[in-house]
């Protein structure tokens, strides 16, 4: 599907802000947690520079940092280890390892509703890449409905609408586009929503 690069830029921005908030406000360190957080900081630096393979360190290269993959494996029961599963899921997706991305995201425990929404949205994106449209649609709808907000809700309804459109399920596509039109007038792709609705009206 198109515009995935733009979608990921939006999502990555949300993730960095949300994770930073969680780290500052909710992490009560013990020695193990503190070690994991230091490793997480190194991996985040690589990710912020766009060096996804180094941030993930999926090959567990024997250098002075673990990477998201190593943190998730070595510190699975820490908060930093849990967040690393989330980051690792994103990195696996960007590197084209879609099944690994789905597995990692499913192992991530999301208590924050925004992160939970993004989690299922990325799972949906990964299912799209492996041609499983049914599972992708299910995850997009779930991602949109977890918590109503101006960013993730219309974004994932939009993806659900587009997927239905490309599957030629025009009534279902119209349903999701209409939800966006009615409730989210300031959605980033509002003009596209209007164009798709005009096309669908002509089709139906």
The tens digit of pLDDT for each residue in 5-44 reads 555 555 655 565 555 545 544 554 577 888 888 889 889 8
Question: Is 158 domain-assigned?
Answer: no
pLDDT of residue 24: 45
pLDDT higher than 60, residue 62: no
- Predicted model pTM: 0.84
pLDDT of residue 7: 57
pLDDT higher than 80, residue 3: no
Name the band, by pLDDT with cuts 50, 70 and 90, for residue 204: confident
Give how many domains the chain has, as a whole number.
1
Give the domain CATH number at 81: 1.25.40
Question: Is 97 domain-assigned?
Answer: yes
Question: Is 136 domain-assigned?
Answer: no
Question: Is 45 domain-assigned?
Answer: yes
63 or 27, higher pLDDT: 63
| Distinct helix (H) and strand (E) counts, the chain | 11, 0
Question: Is 143 domain-assigned?
Answer: no
- In angstroms, the CA 188 to CA 166 distance is 20
Distance of CA 201 to the CA centre of its chain: 31
Handedness of CA 77, 79, 84, 86 (dihedral sign): positive
pLDDT in tens, 135-169: 999 999 999 999 889 989 999 999 999 999 999 99
Domain that holds residue 27: 1-109
Question: Is 133 domain-assigned?
Answer: no
Question: Is 140 domain-assigned?
Answer: no
Is the distance from CB of 89 to CB of 118 less than 8 angstroms?
no
pLDDT of residue 96: 96
pLDDT in tens, 98-136: 999 999 999 999 888 888 999 999 999 999 999 999 999
Picking from 145, 157, 146, 152, the residue whose alpha carbon sits closest to that of residue 182 is: 157
pLDDT higher than 80, residue 196: yes
The CA radius of gyration of the chain, in Å to the nearest whole number, is 18
* Mean pLDDT within 51-77: 84
Question: Is 33 domain-assigned?
Answer: yes
Is the distance from CB of 27 to CB of 79 less than 8 angstroms?
yes
Is the distance from CB of 60 to CB of 93 less than 8 angstroms?
no
């Amino acid at each position: 599907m198109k515009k995935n690069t733009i979608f990921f830029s939006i999502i990555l921005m949300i993730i960095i802000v949300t994770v930073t908030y969680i780290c500052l406000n909710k992490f009560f360190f013990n020695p193990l947690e503190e070690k994991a957080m230091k490793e997480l900081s190194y991996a985040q630096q690589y990710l912020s520079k766009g060096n996804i393979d180094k941030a993930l360190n999926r090959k567990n290269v024997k250098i002075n940092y673990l990477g998201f993959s190593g943190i998730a494996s070595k510190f699975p029961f820490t908060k930093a280890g849990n967040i690393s599963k989330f980051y690792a899921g994103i990195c696996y997706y960007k590197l084209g390892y879609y099944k690994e991305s789905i597995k990692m995201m499913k192992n991530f425990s999301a208590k924050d509703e925004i992160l939970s929404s993004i989690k299922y949205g990325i799972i949906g994106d990964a299912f799209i890449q492996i041609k499983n449209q049914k599972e992708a649609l299910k995850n997009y709808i779930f991602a949109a409905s977890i918590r109503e907000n101006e960013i993730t809700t219309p974004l994932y309804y939009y993806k659900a609408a587009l997927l239905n459109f490309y599957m030629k399920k025009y009534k279902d596509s119209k349903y999701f586009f209409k939800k966006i039109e009615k409730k989210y007038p300031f959605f980033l792709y509002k003009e596209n929503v209007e164009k798709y609705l005009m096309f669908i009206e002509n089709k139906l």
